[in-house]
Structure formats: C-alpha cells, structure tokens
Structure 1
Amino acid sequence: MPNIQGFSMLRARSYVLRLPLFTRGLIVAISAFWLAGLLPMWDLRQWGALIPDQMNIFTMYRLNTFPLIHLNFFHAFLNILALTPLMERFEAEFGTLTSLSLFFGPLTMIPAFMYIFVERIILRGNTWVVGASIWVFLLLGIEAIRTYKTNPYLVIGTHNIPTWVSPLVMVVVVKALVPSSSFFGHLSGVATGYLFGLGYLKFVAPPEKVLRWIEGRLNLLARLPHYLTWSQRVSSYSSALVMRRNDRLLKTAPPYISLSCIVVGVVWLFLLPLNDYSRRTYISENALLPGQVHAYFGGSDQNVFRAYRHEIDALKNSSNVEVNDSLENILTGVGLKVGRQNYTYHSSGETYSGENLYAILQAPRGDATEAIVLVVPWRNMRDELNRNGLALSLALTRYFKRWSLWSKDIILVIPPDSRTGIQAWVDAYHDAHDPQQVAPLPLKSGALQGAVALDYPQEGRFESVHIVYDGVNGQLPNLDLINSVVNIANGQGQGSKLQRMWKHKDSYDDRLKTMLRGMVNQGLGHSTGAHSSFIPYHVDAITIQPVSQGWHDEMGLGRVVEGTFRSLNNLLEKLHQSFFFYLLMNKDRFVSIGTYLPSAMLVAANFTIMAITLWMRSGYSEEEELPAPESRQSGDVASTLTDSGSNDIKVGGSDAAAVMAATAKASKPVERDIFLPLGLVVGSHLLGAVPLFVFNHTPSNMLTPVFILFTAVNALLPHLASRLLTPASLTAQQQRQFRQLLKSFSLLLLGMFLSALATLNFSLALLVGLLATPLTFTPTAHAGPAARVAYTLLLNALSPPAVVAVGATVAARYLGEGGGVGGGVGHLLAEAAFGWCVWGLYTPLIVWCVWWPAWLVGGVVALGGGGRSSSDGAGKAKIA
C-alpha cells in the first residue's frame, strides 16, 4: 500500500470527469436551482418546497422539485458532497435511464407521501422541507441493507450491533448537530431505502425490455456522453465490487476527507453571522424582569456623587493603605461592615502585593445566604485611576442603604487593581486561596449570585455602555445577565457596545468582526476586567464601561447599575436557564454552542480520520506493483467475483480482472511494533513540561533572550530527534511503519485533546486546530530533499514559537504592548506566566503540552530517517 502523499488534483479531476451522466445532471440541477434562488423576483422556496397543506393535483410538481431546492450555499454544498458518491454507485449499478426514472418518480414520491402523511395526518403540522438530504438517507438505507446481507453485525466488545441501524444513528446525529433539519423527512428517506434494499420496491423499476427498446431506438449511448446503458450497468456494478475489494479508497480518500473537514469547518465559521445561523437574544429567566421597575437614583444623589469624587481626588496620590483607611471611614459612617485583606503574588521575578477593602450591606429582607457584588477597582486594566467609578459606587452604596427592598446582601469590593486584588478576594471568599500568599477574609456573606464591575475613569458625559464579559480561560457569564443589562440600558436611552465595536451597523462585516474579536479574547483566555475572576466560580459577572461622548451623566450609569441589581435581587436561584456557551455578533444577536461547535469539531476530526487511516495501513506491508496482464478481447474469459459469501456475479470479458491486476499489490498483514513510536509520542508530550516550566519561572527581563535561545533549539530539535530516535537498523518497510505509527498516535492524541477542549474553549481549540492542520498531511514516506526542506520550512513557519513571535509583534503594533518583536515577546510571555500563576490560565498548558509535542512529532515524521533495504521476500520494498 503506497503512502499517503497528500492531495492530487489530477486524481480529483479524473474522479469528476468519470462521473456518470445522471449524477452530473443532479449536481448541475442543484447548483442551478441555488443560483435561481438568489434572484429577488422569484421566491423559489415558496414555489418548489414540499409544503404539506399546499399539495393538490396542480402542485404535484413539488414532489420532484423539493430535493433540488436548498436554503443556502452551505446547505447545497454539503448535500452535493454527500450525494455524489452514493448516486454514482447507484447509477453504476442500475444505469442512467433507470436512475432517472426512479429518482424523478417513485423513489422521491414515496418518501414525500410518507412525510406528508406523518406531518399532516399524525402531527397535524405544516413544516415544509427542501434539500437533497432525503435522497442521501434513502441511498444510505439501501447501502445499509446491502451491508447487512454480507456483514450483519458490528461487534463492539460483547455487543452485536446490527449494521442496518447505521442510517438511523446518522439521522439522530444530524438532527442533534443541525436542529433545523427535518427528522421525519430523513426517516422517510431511510424507510424507503430499506424497502428498496429488501426488494419490496423492485416492481417500480422500469422493465428491462422497455429500457432496451428506448436505448436502441434513441441511440442514447452514442448521443449522450457518460451515459450508462442497461448492459453496461452489470459490468459497472462488478467494477464497483472490485473497488470495494481494492485498497485504493483507503489510499486516496482520507486526505480529501480531512481537507473537506477543514474547509467545511472554516466555511461553517464564516456562515455564523448570517441570519439563518444566528438568533436574536431573549430573556430566559422570567424572574429577572429587566427594566420593569422605575430607577430613582438621581436628583440629590448628584451632590453626594460630587462630594465623594472630591474625596477620591484628595487620595489619588496616597498609598494603598492610606486610601483604604479613608474609604473604611466613609463606609463605616454609612453603616456597613468593613473588612480588609492582604495578598502577595509572585510571577516572572515580580512581586504583586496589596490590600483589598470590602464592605457588606446586609439585606433587610434576607438571611445572609445570598449576595450580589459591586466591584470598583482603584485602578482599571489600563492602570487608570477609576475616579468616577469609585465616587459612583460610594454614592450607590449610600443610596442602596436607604432602601428596604433588598433580599440579598450587597458587597462592595474595592481592590487596588483589576488583576491581582480581585482574584485574591474571590479565591479567599470561596476558600480556594493559598494561605501563604492570600489572607483569609474576616467577613463573609452568602453564595454570590452575580457581580458587576464599574470601569469609569473618563471625564464628561457618555453615549453608550461597553459591556465586557469575557472570563478567564474563555468562560462566559450566563447570557441572561448581558441581555438584562442591554435591556436596562435601552430603557435609559443608552446604547450598548460589545468587543470595542463602537460603530456597529449590524452588517455581516460588523457581526463577523465582533464574533472574531470575542473568539480572540476567548482563545487567549486572559482576564479582560475585574469581573473575569468571578466566572470560574460560576458567578455571572460583567464589567460596564461608559464610552463615547453623549448626553448621559453619572446618574444615568447609576440607574443602569440600580436596575441590574434590582433584577438580580429578584432571582430565586442562580441564572441557569439561558446559555453559558455562545458567540455574540451584536448586542441582540448570538450563536449558541449547538450551532458553532461543529466548526471546531470538524477541524479536530480531520486529525482523527488520518490517525485511524495510518493505523490501518501500518498493519500491511507494501511491495512492488505487479505488471498488469495484456488486455484480451471482450468475451474471452469470464471473471467470477465473490463478495463476502454473496452469490457469484458473472462478468463477460476481462475488464474487471484487468482493473484488479492494474492496481494489485502483494500486500500482506504484518505485526505492528508499537512500543517505540508510542513511547516517543508520550515522551514528547512529557517534554512539553520543559518550556512550560521555563517560561513560567524565568524572570521577566530574561524572557526575551530565553525565548530566542529556545526558538533556535526548537528549529534543530526535529533534526536531532529524527537522527537519534529513529533506529538505523530498521528496514525501509519497518521505517515506513514506524513513521506511520508515530504520526498516527500523535494525531490521535491531538484530535482527542482538541475535541475535548472544543466543549470548554471553542476558540482556542479551533485556533490550535487550524494552525496544526499541516501536521495532517505530513508525508510518511521518503521524499526528495527539496520536498523535505519545503515541508520543514512550512512546519517551522507554523510552529508554536513562530506563532508566539508573530502574535507578540501584532500585539506590540496594534495594542501598544512592548517595543518591537523582542519587547512584544517578553511582554506576552510575562502575561502568560502571570495568568498561569495568578488566574489559573491553561492556555500555556495547551500550547506547550498539546500543540508543541504534536508539532515536534510532525517534524520528525517529515524529516524521516535512513533505513536499510529489505532483500528477503517476494520483492524489493517500495519507498515513494
């Protein structure tokens, strides 16, 4: 079996050119109907969809048009991709004319009538359906019955699973992944396929005499290119059986399947901003009642705010302890219980210490079992004095104290910064702190129901509020909290912005930019505000920032906070009904996990597909191709093919035998030696702990030179590993198997890790998966020096150190962090080390212990190694 070398455009072109006539016609028809659906003057779906309550004698044409109509390009593309190989096989077995008569006749009408009966008579609904997926499942049903006749059971452990249930499983999976798909429409197609495969619908096929008469009178074979006659269909079916017994599919299909997974995954991502794939936001928790109460903050509270701001101005040059002393006096005077907490963190040779101040307003109608948190850091993430935010929080606390409606305690937390202080406070509140670094809290309340952080350093009036919601490690708050704040802000006449999109026009471009910015923040996993530290503890939290110049003053922002706190005060339990996994496109549009998850899963699946393929191929030896016998006249020899115990099929002529001989190989099963490749893969992942430890414990001023040294070693490491860890005593055949198993185990682990990660941090899994896609197509056979150099350069260009350097450069240029490449790299690595030590950031773990080991193994596989020729056996081993 030859090695997988990647993709061949020549093979792909040859496959397309060999497609029979009816299959080509369906592809053209589906494409033409999709293009026609783009015309604004014609509602194609309304005209040709299968709509149960509009079926009558004058609309019977819908029975044949609905499979050709699709919702969008993506829908049509996927159905064409799935339908083409199945329809090609069916047409090769039954001929072009029979396929035409069946699929524009009984094999489309029967499942259509089944669906109409279920939808109208049983369910009493009127859900319309379009798309060729009903043909796909019909053909899958036929194939399942054919497989069941020769291989009745799939054995998994001690369980025997009938092979005929595979289409039913696919129906359920498709419904789960694509909720808008028609479950009963697909079931109708599978049921019809079962009936046809079992032979109960043979009577609907046109008689053989009629077919021969039509083909003879019209001379279709001569007039129509790629037409398959009745007589040719027997020979074509035999050729199909030959292909099933041949291993060409195993050699050529996996790279194309993997590429299809990658392309479809990327296309899926870029379709998400469209209306067909995203949804409008809504409030799931009725108890929130956002904007249903009148906010009274204002009036004389404006004078209180100005007084507190004057106090803050007097403290802006004071130390942390002096500030807390003054604020403690203010809060104690309001009548609150006040506590203080010291902490000290160490990261990259730097020490971060400070003292948190917090106060608890006990609820008049509560029992101290629940609390809401208002966080106002002394300095925000940009190290700006949170002057107006602090004054507003003190005014709000004094205002809240006068009300008797609170059923939950209100905790005001004032940390010295937005990065370390609030993390220490949250950890200590949940008793998850390190006593050597963080002091315990002297005062506590009940379970935290939600948190709102204020970031208001700017002067003057504002137009909108910017909602920051990204948490540590890509975790997100419950979507109901964001929707509530948007609703309350709208009630106050204030706009809402997300992901620093100040002029969002709700266009596709703006939706895509908002989504991608959110994915970048989620993928990096860093803290984006004082709220981020709450989310890992399942406390829904956001940061509110006034932005732009407008006519709203501080009292308007105070009313937004008041409305938010009163909504959270209504809760009887934690927010749980809405989404925790989503991508926001705008303040009122989002995509849920069920819609966006397939994108990352498809990218991760391409690694698993290639890993399984390489495992299967590593169990066979490859020898020289046997010479094909000379062609003989048709009819000289009758070939007898037996397909897994089924009845013999007689084929006139030697065409089938010639096809087998032309592609035959003297392959035989061989024993796999898995110890060495498995040990190397496991060792490479353990080796990832070295850069993880080094970059998280190196002083910040040494990070840049250490990174440069590591990058140089990283470029040489695959060469050294290939030379030292690949035994030179192995034969060429053993070398091939060694590289296949090495790549198989590495890709299997990578696919498994990314699939699991996608459910926790979709953006990080997708980003790593896309950057690692060249590893799927790393050649496992010896290539020429130029090819090896080219592929090694490609792998080095997409290596983790290279991506880190490029990312740091981009951040330094557009975000103003660091100075140039070196400064940017040092700053980025220092931030990653800080996140690892303080926030519990796991992005460095994924980079150095998942992605980097897979890259290292890919480099070893690409470089290969020497091996001695094998002279024992039937032939000389072939090295591509």
Structure 2
Amino acid sequence: MALAETILRAVHKHDLVPKLTRALPWISLLFSFASVIWLLMLPIDGNYRKSYISENALMPGQVTSYFRESEWNIVRGYRNELKIFEGAAIDERNAVVEGWLKDIGLKTAYHRLHDPSVQDNMYAILHAARGDDTEAMVLSVPWTTSDGEYNLGGASLAVALARYFNRMSIWSKNIIIVFSEDGHKSLRSWVEAYHTSLDTTAGSIEAAIVLEYGGDSDYFEYYEMHYEGLNGQLPNLDLLNTANLVSYHENIHISIQQTEGEKLTRNDYLTRLKTFLKGIVSLTLAGIVTPSNGCESFSGWQIQAFTIKVKGTSGGNDITQIGRVVDETFRSVNNLLEKFHQSFFFYLMLGPRYFVSIGTYLPSAALIAASFALSSLSCMLNSGFTIPHFLLNISSVLKFFVMIELSSFLLSTFLPYLVKQTTDESDKISLVNLILLSMTSLVNINSKFAFSMISFSLFFIAMVIVALLILNFSLALCIGLLAMPLQFVQQLLNSIEAKIKVFLCLFVSNPFFVVYITGGLYLEAFGYQNGTLNLMTGLLTSWDDVQCWTWFIVMLGWFPAWLSIAISCGLGDFKNQAPVSYIKKNQ
C-alpha cells in the first residue's frame, strides 16, 4: 500500500496523467510505427526459421522414382496428340483424355454444371490396390493456366503419370486426376460438388497438387510454388517442405512469390523481405484476383494443396523431373496413416527453405490494433468534452452506427447482384446514391456526437483487427495499415485550417481508393490486365464463385467505420469547439 501511495503521489505531483493524455496521439503513432518496424525486422538473421519436416512418416526423398527417360516418349506422345486440340472446345479435349484414361484402367466421371459460363469438369479415379476407398490425393490440371496459356505440358504429363501410377501396387490412398476449365470457379465448383453432391467419389481428400505447365517445351528453368488459400487458410507446412526437399534433390530451383532470375539462389535481407511482403499481399488477395493459381480452390475442407507453375522454356531441367516431384510427393503423403497435424498451419514464407511462424509475426497486427484503440481513447479524452457527455451520446452513437452497418450490408449484397446483371442496372446505382446523399444531408451532427462517433469507429476498427488476427492475419494487417490515416482525423479537427488534411486522410483510407490503387499499380505491375476492374470484379464475385469473405469484411468492417468518420467530419459542427483536455480541466 505504501508503494502504491508513493507512486500515486509522484504521478499527481508531476502531472503525468494529463501529459500522457495529451501524448496519446503520439503514442498511437508510435505503436503504428512499431508494427511496421516489427515486420521489417522479421527477415533479419535470427528472427526466422529454417524449414524442416515435422512428420517423420512422410520420409521425403527416401524412395527412388522411376518416372524417368523411359516415360519421356510417353509424355511426348500424349502432348503431340493434345496439341491438335488446342483450339478445340473443352468437351472435345475431355472426351479424348477420358478415352486414354479408360484404356489405362481408371474410372472416369463428369461433374455436370448448370452454369452456362463454366464448362463441365472431367475426373478420373485410380483406386488404390491396398486401400479401402476412404482417403485420396488429387492431381488437378486446369486446361487454361493462370497465365492464360493452354496447359499442354500439364495435361500430357498428368495422363502419363496416371499410366505410371496404375502400374504401381504401393498405393494405400486413391488418386484423383481432375481436368477443369480453369483453376478458379470451375475447379472450386468441382471441389464443392465432390463434398456435397457427386455420386462418384474416392474418399476424403488429404492433399492436392495443381499442375500448370504451359507450352510444348521439354525443358524449363524453374517452377513457382503457390500455396495461398482462401480466407487466410494455408496448407500444412510439411507438405510444402516435402515438395521443396524433393525438388532440391532434383536440383530444381523453386520460386516463392514470383521471385525470378538470380534472386532464386540469393538469400539476403532484401530478397527475404520482398518475398515476405509479397506473401502478405498475395494471401490478402487470394480468391479475389483472377485468373487464380488453383490451390485456393481446395480451401475449406481441410485439404492441403499447392500449385506447381512451371516457368521458362529452356534450362537444365526436363519435364520428367516435374513428374518425379509429383510422384515422390504423393508417395510421401501415401505413407501417412492420419491427416496432416504436425508442423504449422499459420506461417509466412521468406523463401523455399525459410519461414516465420505465427508467434513471431502476430505482434505486428496486435500493435496496429492497439494503436487504433489508443486513438479511440485519445479522441474521447482530448476532444474537450467530459466523459459524461460521451456516455449520454452512446445510445445515439450505437443507433447511428447500426444504421450505417445495415446500409453497408444492403450495399454489400446488392452490388454483387448488380455486377451479374446488364448495364441497364446502372440507373439503379444512381438512384441509390441520390437517396443516400439526400439522407445524409438531413442529418444534423453536433460536435459532441461527432467526436463520440469518431471514437467509436476507431475502436470498432481495432476490434475488427483483433477478430481477424489469427483467422486472417494478412487481411487484418492490411486493413490496419491502410486505415491508419483515420487515426489523425481527430487531432486535425481541432484546427480549422486543417480541412484539406482531414480530406486527404479520409481520401487515402477509403477502401475503394485502395482498391483503385492496388489494382492500377500493384496488379498491373505483375502483368494483370485492367487491374482495377479485375480487383473490383473479383471482390464483388468472390463469395459466389469461391466463398471468399474478403468483400464482406471490407464492407461490414472497414467501410462502415470509414463512412461513420467521414460523415462525422463532413457534417459535424467544430467551429465552436475548444480543444481542451477533459483531464486537464478537472485538475
């Protein structure tokens, strides 16, 4: 008690509480900078970990794959035949491949789609000689790669692998080979139907590999490994490490997050940092950007999946080496007696053999959430009003915010419907905008209510980030960093000359401005056509196509808070507001 009394007297003597209250905006900014600095420190030596195999039963690289030069001519033969059908309809290609797979001895079936915009999917099942039809592995081959190429090498290699697998009696898990139109909506519809309505199945899917090998070249330089899942989901790290180890033994370079050239073999800070940051952005945009890499279509059913995307048409690696990577990875998964449960499900890759786990990167998002909470507290204590004023307004604030949430919900459901309709529906958008503008013009907001609304909105963003911390770290972090300018609005409102600065803070933190910038600069820099339109269309259709919830997180989490602050700043009366700290007044 004596120690506590001494501390309280010292605090009162030096006026620490008023000083801390006035310093809250700077403390909040410090937390935001600390979040960024934490991220920048993770690729430094000693802060990340080297990858390793946690599940001993996988035993990668312990077997000899016989998919070698003897199978090369088989691959060439299938490739020459499929090359004829490059311009043919997908139904014709499926019919040809189906005939080959039946001759090999596989059982084929179709997934008939009622959506006229998507072609039917064909799949074949190799029943394991030593299995009981309860577990399976999938080799997925989209007819069109994520680069828009005809997946000629991938399809011919898949048929040759089916012929090779059928001659082996080691399998205890069934093998499913899927031929879909693409790796996005078409493949996702097959995965969903497999777990709900298809009659011909082969058991629970343990792992999946999506194979993209465009062109007719026998050789390649390296392959890109994509592993991003929907809604923050990731495959078990053991599966990626297994494929990486097999590729290492085959002397194949692996690219993570589109690393290319000499950076494939470089292990310096800048290379790791670039891979790390691009991984965060890629995981945030998973399921939204089209065409996708295919592995995300398997999210949601505890299926561990990744994509092999072959790059280059010359080099020291040949097509049979990709076959051996698939073969040895499947044989490792075949050794498992249970589902993947060892290793990590939450991680971020710095390279093929380096990663950071959730316990290492999670504090960065926690710091940004704390900064919003402190900004909310600062808005309350430094606005010039007493705490009872805020308590009297809490009921009105909640009612107003609920109205904004309901409006955002209606907008989030209406816009995806609208994008599927004809262009004549554009008149409806103009009508909705006119109604919203007329409603907001009738709102009269005093400064007390405005500050209460800003404080509550900042706290709401903090809670959104906290709720997403573990489920979707990348999305939580991106929302926190991109909405960070909203933290400066309250202290700028105390200055009448700062209206332009307030407008800029609101403008750059607007979700749709971020979509425009991300699509126009980031996506187009990586070869996506019409990046802004691609990203916006992907946001609006991602839930219907692949059950990605990013659109609803933005519209029900970020956008309502931004809109509440924008309305409070635009319609609030701050002319007679004196910036006096409540705690200072009561000293």
Partner residue of 2:517 out of 806, 819, 837: 806
Equivalence for 1:589? 354
Q: 1:276 to 1:706 in 2, by over 3 A?
A: farther
1:242 has 2:13 as partner:
yes
Deviation per CA, 1:624-649, whole angstroms, max 9, x where unpaired? Answer: xxxxxxxxxxxxxxxxxxxxxxxxxx
Alignment of 1:185-334 (within 5 A): 240-243=11-14, 247-249=17-19, 251-334=21-104
Residue of structure 2 in register with 1:134 after alignment? none
CA distance, structure 2, for counterparts of residue 555 and residue 484 of structure 1:
18
SS in 2 for 1:674: helix
Is the 2:493–2:574 Cα contact (8 Å) retained in structure 1? no
> 2:301 is matched by which residue type in structure 1?
Y
Q: Is the 8 A contact 1:269 1:599 kept in 2?
A: yes
Matched, 1:146 2:3: yes
Greater RCO (CA < 8 Å, at least 6 residues apart): 2
Which deviations, in whole Å up to 9, do the C-alpha atoms of 1:34-53 show, x marking residues without a partner? xxxxxxxxxxxxxxxxxxxx
Displacement of 1:810: 1.3
Q: Which amino acid aligns with 1:762?
A: F
User: 2:480 aligns to what SS in structure 1?
Assistant: helix
Aligned to 1:758: 469
Looking at structure 2, the residues matched to 475 and 845 of structure 1 have their Cα atoms a distance apart, in angstroms, of 17
Query: How far apart are the structure 2 equivalents of 1:692 and 1:540?
Result: 31
Q: Distance in 2 between matches of 1:267 and 1:719?
A: 44
- Aligned mates of 2:509, 2:94 — CA distance in 1: 49
What is the TM-score with the length of structure 1 in the denominator? 0.61
Structure 2 match to 1:634:
none
Gaps of 5+ in 1: 1-143, 151-196, 198-236, 346-350, 432-439, 623-666, 728-734, 871-877
Q: 1:476 aligns with which of 227, 234, 237?
A: 234
Shift of 1:591: 0.5
- Say yes or no: does 1:696 pair with 2:413: no
CA distance in 1, matches of 2:424, 2:35: 35
CA contact (8 A) 1:695 1:829 kept: no
What's the counterpart of residue 654 of structure 1? none
Match of 1:855 among 554, 562, 566: 562
- Give the number of aligned pairs: 570
Residue in structure 1 matched with residue 145 of structure 2 by the alignment: 380
Residue matched to 1:518: 279
Kept in 2, the 8 Å contact 1:380–1:386? The answer is: yes
Output one character per residue of 1:483-538: Cα deviation in whole Å (capped at 9) or x when no partner.
11110011112122111101321111111111111111111122632221113211
Q: Report the counterpart of residue 458 of structure 2 in structure 1.
A: 747
Unaligned runs of 5+ in 2: 578-584
- Tell me how far 1:594 sits from its aligned partner: 0.4
Q: 1:609 to 1:719 in 2, by over 3 A?
A: farther
SS in 2 for 1:380: coil
Distance 1:703 1:796, change over 3 A: farther
Quote the Cα distance in structure 1 between the aligned partners of 2:531 and 2:379: 40
Per the alignment, residue 787 of structure 1 pairs with 498
Distance (whole Å) between structure 1 residues aligned to residue 2 and residue 565 of structure 2: 41
State whether residues 112 and 121 of structure 2, in contact with CA within 8 Å, keep that contact through their aligned partners in structure 1: yes
Distance across 2 between alignment mates of 1:802 and 1:784: 25
Helix, strand or coil at the partner of 2:562: helix
Q: Which residue of 1 aligns with 2:305?
A: 541
* Cα pair 2:230 2:299 within 8 Å, conserved: yes
- Which amino acid in structure 2 is aligned with residue 499 of structure 1? Q
> Which residue in the other structure is 1:12 paired with?
none
Q: Deviations over 1:659-683 (max 9, x none)?
A: xxxxxxxx98885232211111222
Write the distance in 2 (CA, Å) between the matches of 1:571 and 1:293.
Answer: 15
- Aligned pairs for 1:20-99 (under 5 A) are none
Q: Structure 1 residue 834 and structure 2 residue 541: aligned?
A: yes
Give the SS at the match of 1:371.
Answer: strand
Distance of 2:284 and 2:490 partners within structure 1: 30
Change (3 A) 1:561 1:777: same
CA RMSD of aligned residues (A): 3.1
- The letter of the residue matching 2:570 is L
Question: Does the residue aligned with 1:590 lie in a helix, a strand or coil?
Answer: strand
Contact 1:781 1:864 in 2 (8 A): no
CA distance in 2 between partners of 1:485 and 1:781 (Å): 53
Q: Deviations over 1:108-131 (max 9, x none)?
A: xxxxxxxxxxxxxxxxxxxxxxxx
Report if aligned partners of 1:449, 1:540 keep a CA contact under 8 Å in 2.
Answer: yes
The match for 2:253 among 495, 510, 527 is 495
2:181 is aligned with 1:416: yes
Give the Cα separation in 2 of the matches to 1:812 and 1:467: 19
Shift, 1:689, TM fit: 2.2
Contact map agreement 2:447 2:574 (CA 8 A) in 1: no
Question: What SS does structure 1 have at the residue aligned with 2:516?
Answer: helix
Provide the secondary structure at the position in 1 that maps to 2:91.
helix
Q: CA deviation at 1:542?
A: 0.7
What amino acid does structure 1 have at the position aligned with 2:271? D
Does the 8 Å contact 1:313/1:387 carry over to 2?
Answer: yes
Separation in structure 2 between the aligned mates of residue 587 and residue 867 of structure 1, nearest angstrom: 54
Q: CA deviation at 1:256?
A: 2.2
Letter of the structure 2 residue corresponding to residue 484 of structure 1: T
CA distance in structure 2 between the partners assigned to 1:869 and 1:515 by the alignment = 48
Deviation at 1:415, TM superposition (A): 1.0
Letter paired with 2:512: P
Q: Relative to structure 1, is the Cα distance of residues 145 and 499 closer, same or farther in structure 2, using a 3 angstrom cutoff?
A: farther
Query: What SS does structure 1 have at the residue aligned with 2:340?
Result: coil
| CA displacement at 1:744 relative to structure 2 | 2.3
Percent pairwise identity: 35
Deviation of 1:609 (Å): 2.4
Structure 1 counterpart SS, 2:308 = strand
Given the superposition, is the C-alpha separation of residues 479 and 340 from structure 1 closer, same or farther in structure 2, using an over 3 Å criterion?
Answer: same
Amino acid at match of 1:452: I
Q: Deviations over 1:821-847 (max 9, x none)?
A: xx5433322222232211112111122
Q: Which has the larger radius of gyration?
A: 1
Query: Structure 1 residues 708 and 514, CA, compared in 2 at 3 Å: closer, same or farther?
Result: farther
- Whether contact under 8 Å (1:718, 1:860) holds in the other structure is no
Question: What is the identity, as a one-letter code, of the residue corresponding to 1:242?
Answer: K
| Structure 2 Cα separation of the partners of residues 264 and 781 of structure 1 | 22
| 2:110–2:123 Cα contact (<8 Å) kept | yes
Distance across 2 between alignment mates of 1:749 and 1:562:
49
Matches within 5 A, 1:443-454: 443-454=200-211
Tell me whether 1:506 sits opposite 2:276 in the alignment: no
Distance change in 2, residues 1:308/1:741 (3 Å): same
Describe the SS at the equivalent of 1:353.
Answer: coil
Q: Distance in 2 between matches of 1:839 and 1:408?
A: 27
CA 1:317–1:410 in structure 2 vs 1: closer, same or farther (change >3 Å)?
A: same
